[in-house]
Structure 1
Amino acid sequence: MQPIAAEGPMTTRLLVSAAEPARSALDCLLRPRSIAIVGASPQFAKINGRPLKHLIDKGYTGRLYPVNPKYSEIAGLASYPDVAALPEATDLAIVALPAREVEACIAALGRRGVAAAVIFSSGFGEMGADGKRVEQSLRACADAHGVVICGPNCLGFVNAFDNVYATFSQYADGDTGAGPVAFVTQSGAFGTAIAALVRHRGLGLGYFINTGNEAGVSFSDLMLAVIEDPRIRVAAGYLEGMRDGPGLIRLAQRCAELGKPLVLTKVGRMAAGVRAAASHTGSLAVEDDVFDAVLRQHGVLRARNEEQMLDMLEALCSDRVPHGGGLGIATQSGGAGVMMADHAEELDLEVPALAPETQAALAKVMPAFGAAGNPVDVTGQFVGNPDLLLESVVTLLADPQVHVGIVWLQLMTAYVDLLVGIFCQIRDRTDRPFIICWVAAPPEAVRRLRAEGMVVFGAGERAVEAAATMVRHRQILRVAAENRAERAALAAAVERVAADVCGDFSDGVQPTAQATAWLQAAGVPMAPVALARHGDEAQAAWRSFGGPVVLKIESPDITHKTEVGGVLLKLNDEAAVRQGFATLLKRARKARPEARLDGVVVQPMTAGQLELVIGVQRDPSFGMVLMVGLGGVLVEVLKDVVFRLGPFSEAEGLRMLDGLRVRTLLDGVRGQPAVDRAAIAALLSRLSIWAAAMAPRLDELDLNPVLVGPTGPVAVDCVMVFRGQGGG
């Protein structure tokens, strides 16, 4: 039967028989039926010998073809002198050659029809400018010959389900039993350490993948491929840099659609991606803060470090999901219960009061000196009466306001069999998830409980954080469902705005009047403005507004007007307005003699009980990011700001406001009425849609302050900066 060509992901054409369905290049990479090892060595201790050893020892059942002209056979397998001599076009090639030989090898693989390659070789982009040029040439070669590449400069990967060990990593030396976690890492050495810790916890990795330099497939490409495997329940990743923001968002959305948690650890939390910017948004848009906000917006769980990642994975691998946010705590120590309840409040977990019937049921089994509230203090009496712990926890978890539980105990070295038996009975008598916090637990107890599918930690705060992770994931799935329903409407709104916007799109700072008009047309409440080029026009504008006005210098070169004394307030007669006009020009010329002066903006005075700053900044990884925070001149000192990637809905705007540390100010203090949160959220959503529509032109935007009063929010100052359409 003649082979036919078929299209797969990554635009790679594969030859398949008409009798079998087409396989994608990524499927050939990760689940190969045949593997060529180019540069294979019979010395299994070497990097180029280890993959063949692992594949043989671990029981890979596909076809193996060593390629090395020095040998006629390796480990009992025929060895081929070059790629062209291979008896078939393998699904995957493992390339373990010096860097100078890699590009020619990839070209040969493409000519032979090999779909994918994993490249161990170093000496590419990690070596500096010359290495980057070599890597770019390699990428172009792979694209031209239709070979999907993982790497270079990587450890390779493990697919433990199918015994594919395309790696020389030390992780493959030990027991690599398949499990429900897929782990993709940009770091080889640190990623291996995390993989070893996962194994130590007994969780099991179905996939372990090191992406290396990502000259071909990216972190997101690979994770998107493995999360489709029904045997994977949780996805975990380690990032050293953000190379593909849109890809990461697609990954997060797909994980949410599948109901699979995505846990990421990214280093460089404190590295500021701040540049000199015309807007407050630009100066506040620290790279990691934006990254963290976009991840939260799209339902990604972020771990501070490898230990917290492992805690999250252990909790999320549980087959039980909380259906609410209520935490029930049963403890052997009243102090431990208080400590955990305090931490739960810090994490916005509710520790609810128990229902009267729950308290009555607990009172029947509790010792007289125990506590039947929440936390439940069962004391140490359960050692003599095991039913005390069993019935107390089962009763606690049955309360309608308790959705996840924590059971805290310590030591109990002599009672391992008893306690393991009690916890198994608790598991069998309830459908609620619960976490065991066993301080200084005997290793045998931890091993046996984990073997029974239970979640075990050795510290109270870690247990609370794990419970919060389980609750957070449930909330993520709910919000993700809402966002999916809204996505099409937001995209349509962006298209409508993009079609309607017209005007002068010259680069640089935009005239205030034009910027105000664009935003007003988009539904963003803006205080009216008029441009005065001389004193008579300023007086005419004052008369038209019919009350006190603000005068502001108008110059594309002066974006922070207060720094040059470029703002005058509460002017309410002809003489004051005319004199104010002259004063602003004089001050501007003195402070910035090189600045272009277009005149003075006249604006009616606007009052508000609260000042916000709202802005948009182009993030190099993700695109148009919107910010809201406490406004005024102290915004860059307080830095109480929240970011979101646009476009987004009004519901997401409300969640932004809930993320502010000073959110209680929105509810009114010292007799002030509460502000209209819905109106602010509507402003944020409309601005995010406009910014997304203007993405080819808009570079940054600053609305500061936005005054919030009884009639809602209104922006009274605007700095808008365009860049060349389609520019980088």
Structure 2
Amino acid sequence: MTYANPDRNETINRLINPKSIAVIGASENFGKVSGRPLKHLIEKGYAGRVMPVNPKYEKIAGLTCYPSVDALPEIADLAIIALPAAQVCDCVRDLGGKGIRAAVIFSSGFGEMGEAGKALEKKLAETAEAARVILLGPNCLGFVNAFENVYATFSQYADGETGAGPIAFVTQSGAFGTAIAALIRQRGLGLGYFLNTGNQADLDFAELMMALVEDPRIKVAAGYLEGLSDGASLIRLARKCRDLGKPLILTKVGRMESGARAAASHTGALAVSDAVFDAVVRQYGVMRARNEEQMLDMMEVFCQPRRASGNGLGIATQSGGAGVMMADRAEEVGLAVPELGVKTQARLGEVMPAFGAAGNPVDVTGQFVARPELLTESVVALLDDPEIDVAIVWLQLMTAHVDALLEIFREIQERTQKPFLVCWVAAPEAAIKGLRAMEISVYPAGERAVEAAAALSRYGMLKPPGDDRVVSVINIAPEGSTGSGMQPSVEASNWLREAGVPMARVELAENEDSAVSLWRANGGPVALKIESPDIPHKTEVDGVILNVNDEDAVRSGFRMLVERTRHHMPEARLAGVLVQEMSGGHVELVVGVQRDPVFGMIVMVGFGGILVEVLKDVTFRRAPFNPNEAKAMLDELRMSAILDGVRGKPAVDREAIAALLSRLSHWASSMEPRLSELDLNPVLVGEDGPSVVDCVMIFEDRLTSMPDAGVDEPA
């Protein structure tokens, strides 16, 4: 729920950075939930006015305590509500009457408590809308704005030192979010904002983060998600972060969903929500972390100021074994470990000991302890190589040489421009603090350093988002539409052909004579396929006969298909038999569209044909998208090399496949209120390009489209 308020953004900014705060239900017991925010605001030095509200007290900690909201001497920018759930709606109504437009609600007892709680939360949302009050919560820890010492929270995170820093962190989980915040503090990365969304009766993750990333002091945005209902708002946030050059890092739980709902199309069966989420956030440049540790590793690498422009990794190590391990992991996560250029190898040869290695990884051995210039010159040479975009320096222990090593890394930093990370196994605390003070990321394990370097590389290689406006809008109810349900194959094929999708010619024969006439008109061999609104997958009733090319075969084939279908599915309604031109191609793809409840129209491409649900070599994108994004989809497929020709088969035209996917995405986007599922399977691809030979199109009437994510505007 978000009410229509022209100054909503301004109100959110005042919530985050209030000049005055009213604490409703304040307690003089600073150990209680209702007392802790007062304690934090006073002890942390909040400069604004704090106004406790509780009829039980005249003063709390020297502050005047007011008996009611109406008795407040001024209109606060923010109200903190720490009352029993049953009193919250009346409180919000009073806030609106006073002119207070923003509230943080600690109170539990709402949607998390079952049907009665959900009803109360619905009433709260309606009350807030009527009172024109925006809400953070209920059932939330509140937030911290460390820049302005705003501690509108009872979280134990606020008990410790909370020095402001370049990270904004918004979490849907209170306890787990607090743990992540504590880990950020432990690393000394600096958390400028910490917000817990609670039940999200009003403000949600994306809207809050949209406000935080505007702050020029924030370099990195990070979030912990347990669920998502508004994909459009997350896409707007991702676009904004990219425009601002601020990485958005997300950890979302629920990665493995046990099964998919029953669906008529392969796309529907394969489009498990997490796979779609993962594909869409990558499409819009979001960095996804598997867990809290990887999230922090990404935060750390993005807090350092240097960016990678490619995926070439250079490794300098004290241990040959560690170098091999990191090189292996680098290949797994999409980094290249390129051979160094002749000039670089010559430079390394001048400083390397005879028993070292001047390749990549560079093994500097332990000799650099006696000869510091060995490490310095090796890493500088590595970073100067044009094939290297980011480097990792691996070492271990070195407790007695911390100061000397910090000086080495300082010199490397001064003499280079490209990013380099340090993997220091069992590093002394002084070493870690010293490196982070120089804005050099440091990791305790080789694979973690490699994964951080991969994140830096992926972000640096993101292409500017293309113009993804819908370029062709098809009539929302095409002529010949039968309403909801599976659409006739001939009409569906014609609609797609008009949209630029290469469909094999197909016509419907209602009897044998008609089938023969259509075969003659085709002038060559045809495929015969049963047509029924009750049979989405014709092969399951043995309803396809290929390469039919004489009159007797056409007639007998027609009869055979009808008999087989009546045997396998006697209740199926039969429309006739499709007569389709034969298409060739040595590569078999499946392409589909699914209307996702969160992100809208999702396009899928993959390998497999009838085995698609076994192979599951598929990838997804949110529609619409341009041909470059479509080519990236093809690159992601595990069997992508097949497109380039294997075992004597020629390569196929990736550009033509990408054009098909892009055109389909625009058509699907324009059909969002109507199209539910689409399966193009198989799509045969040969030297002459792709041809779609089977189509399952399902409409589901829907008069209003999904929330707009700005796709009709240039990105």
CA distance in 2, matches of 1:10, 1:224: 17
Identify the residue that residue 629 of structure 2 maps to in structure 1: 652
1:726 aligns with 2:703: yes
Identify the residue that residue 534 of structure 1 maps to in structure 2: 511
CA distance in 2, matches of 1:57, 1:25: 26
Matches within 5 A, 1:148-159: 148-159=134-145
Deviation of residue 425 (structure 1)? Answer: 1.6
Amino acid across the alignment from 1:661? R
1:697 aligns with 2:690: no
Instruction: Report if aligned partners of 1:273, 1:287 keep a CA contact under 8 Å in 2.
Output: no
Q: 2:219 aligns with which of 210, 233, 257?
A: 233
Matched residue of 2:652: which SS? coil
Higher RCO (C-alpha under 8 Å, 6+ residues apart): 2
1:426 aligns with 2:412: yes
Amino acid across the alignment from 2:200? E
Identify the residue that residue 392 of structure 1 maps to in structure 2: 378
CA distance in 2, matches of 1:117, 1:302: 31
Identify the residue that residue 642 of structure 1 maps to in structure 2: 619
CA distance in 2, matches of 1:617, 1:500: 18
1:132 aligns with 2:135: no
- Alpha carbons of structure 1 residues 175 and 611: separation in structure 2 relative to 1, 3 Å: same
Identify the residue that residue 315 of structure 1 maps to in structure 2: 301
1:510 aligns with 2:510: no
Matched residue of 1:24: which SS? helix
CA distance in 2, matches of 1:216, 1:563: 48
Identify the residue that residue 177 of structure 1 maps to in structure 2: 163
Identity of aligned residues (%): 63
Amino acid across the alignment from 2:517? A
CA distance in 2, matches of 1:403, 1:658: 21
- Alpha carbons of structure 1 residues 708 and 310: separation in structure 2 relative to 1, 3 Å: same
Identify the residue that residue 12 of structure 1 maps to in structure 2: 5
Amino acid across the alignment from 2:487? Q
Identify the residue that residue 362 of structure 2 maps to in structure 1: 376
Amino acid across the alignment from 1:364? E
Identify the residue that residue 586 of structure 1 maps to in structure 2: 563
CA distance in 1, matches of 2:233, 2:4: 16
CA deviations over 1:560-600 (Å, ceiling 9, x no partner): 11111111122211122112112212222222222211111
Identify the residue that residue 19 of structure 1 maps to in structure 2: none
Instruction: Report if aligned partners of 1:12, 1:148 keep a CA contact under 8 Å in 2.
Output: no
Identify the residue that residue 347 of structure 1 maps to in structure 2: 333
1:618 aligns with 2:611: no
CA distance in 2, matches of 1:594, 1:136: 46
CA deviations over 1:134-183 (Å, ceiling 9, x no partner): 11111111111110100101000000001110000111010100010000
Question: How many residues end up aligned between the 2 structures?
Answer: 704
Matches within 5 A, 1:545-624: 545-624=522-601
Moved over 6 A (4+): none
Identify the residue that residue 53 of structure 1 maps to in structure 2: 39
Instruction: Report if aligned partners of 1:631, 1:704 keep a CA contact under 8 Å in 2.
Output: no
Q: 2:436 aligns with which of 450, 457, 462?
A: 450
1:256 aligns with 2:218: no
Instruction: Report if aligned partners of 2:608, 2:615 keep a CA contact under 8 Å in 1.
Output: no
Identify the residue that residue 267 of structure 1 maps to in structure 2: 253
Matched residue of 1:213: which SS? coil
Identify the residue that residue 712 of structure 2 maps to in structure 1: none
Amino acid across the alignment from 2:681? N
Matched residue of 1:380: which SS? helix
Identify the residue that residue 294 of structure 1 maps to in structure 2: 280
Identify the residue that residue 681 of structure 1 maps to in structure 2: 658
CA deviations over 1:666-721 (Å, ceiling 9, x no partner): 00011111000000000000000000000010000000000001110000000000
Instruction: Report if aligned partners of 1:612, 1:707 keep a CA contact under 8 Å in 2.
Output: yes
CA deviations over 1:574-632 (Å, ceiling 9, x no partner): 12211211221222222222221111111122111010000000111000000000032
Identify the residue that residue 232 of structure 2 maps to in structure 1: 246
Identify the residue that residue 630 of structure 1 maps to in structure 2: 607
Deviation of residue 498 (structure 1)? Answer: 4.5
Please identify, of 133-142 and 339-348, the stretch whose mean Cα deviation from structure 2 is larger.
Answer: 339-348
CA deviations over 1:223-279 (Å, ceiling 9, x no partner): 101000000000000000112100000000000000000000000000146211110
Q: 1:359 aligns with which of 330, 336, 345?
A: 345
Instruction: Report if aligned partners of 1:178, 1:206 keep a CA contact under 8 Å in 2.
Output: yes
CA deviations over 1:316-356 (Å, ceiling 9, x no partner): 10111123322111111111111111211222212222222
Amino acid across the alignment from 1:456? V
Matched residue of 1:497: which SS? coil
Instruction: Report if aligned partners of 1:505, 1:697 keep a CA contact under 8 Å in 2.
Output: no
Deviation of residue 501 (structure 1)? Answer: 4.9
Deviation of residue 661 (structure 1)? Answer: 0.1
Instruction: Report if aligned partners of 1:631, 1:706 keep a CA contact under 8 Å in 2.
Output: no
CA distance in 2, matches of 1:261, 1:13: 29
Structure 2 length-normalised TM: 0.97
Which runs of 5 or more structure 2 residues have no equivalent in the other structure?
Answer: 706-715
Amino acid across the alignment from 2:226? E
Q: 1:437 aligns with which of 402, 423, 426?
A: 423
Instruction: Report if aligned partners of 2:209, 2:221 keep a CA contact under 8 Å in 1.
Output: yes
- Alpha carbons of structure 1 residues 504 and 239: separation in structure 2 relative to 1, 3 Å: same
Deviation of residue 440 (structure 1)? Answer: 1.2
CA distance in 1, matches of 2:3, 2:135: 10
Instruction: Report if aligned partners of 1:327, 1:352 keep a CA contact under 8 Å in 2.
Output: yes
Amino acid across the alignment from 2:504? A
Q: 2:188 aligns with which of 180, 196, 202?
A: 202
Instruction: Report if aligned partners of 1:272, 1:288 keep a CA contact under 8 Å in 2.
Output: no
CA distance in 2, matches of 1:424, 1:690: 55
CA distance in 1, matches of 2:170, 2:330: 30
Matched residue of 2:461: which SS? helix
Which runs of 5 or more structure 1 residues have no equivalent in the other structure?
Answer: 1-8, 15-21
Instruction: Report if aligned partners of 1:12, 1:25 keep a CA contact under 8 Å in 2.
Output: no
Instruction: Report if aligned partners of 1:272, 1:287 keep a CA contact under 8 Å in 2.
Output: no
Instruction: Report if aligned partners of 2:656, 2:690 keep a CA contact under 8 Å in 1.
Output: yes
CA distance in 2, matches of 1:26, 1:714: 52
Matched residue of 2:408: which SS? helix
Structure 1 length-normalised TM: 0.95
CA distance in 1, matches of 2:526, 2:480: 27
Identify the residue that residue 502 of structure 2 maps to in structure 1: 525
CA distance in 2, matches of 1:561, 1:456: 57
Identify the residue that residue 413 of structure 1 maps to in structure 2: 399
Deviation of residue 463 (structure 1)? Answer: 0.8
Please identify, of 657-666 and 348-357, the stretch whose mean Cα deviation from structure 2 is larger.
Answer: 348-357
Instruction: Report if aligned partners of 1:512, 1:718 keep a CA contact under 8 Å in 2.
Output: yes
CA distance in 1, matches of 2:704, 2:303: 44
Identify the residue that residue 711 of structure 2 maps to in structure 1: none
CA distance in 2, matches of 1:725, 1:705: 28
Q: 1:707 aligns with which of 660, 664, 684?
A: 684
CA distance in 1, matches of 2:185, 2:425: 21
Identify the residue that residue 85 of structure 2 maps to in structure 1: 99
Q: 1:24 aligns with which of 10, 27, 49?
A: 10
Instruction: Report if aligned partners of 2:593, 2:603 keep a CA contact under 8 Å in 1.
Output: yes
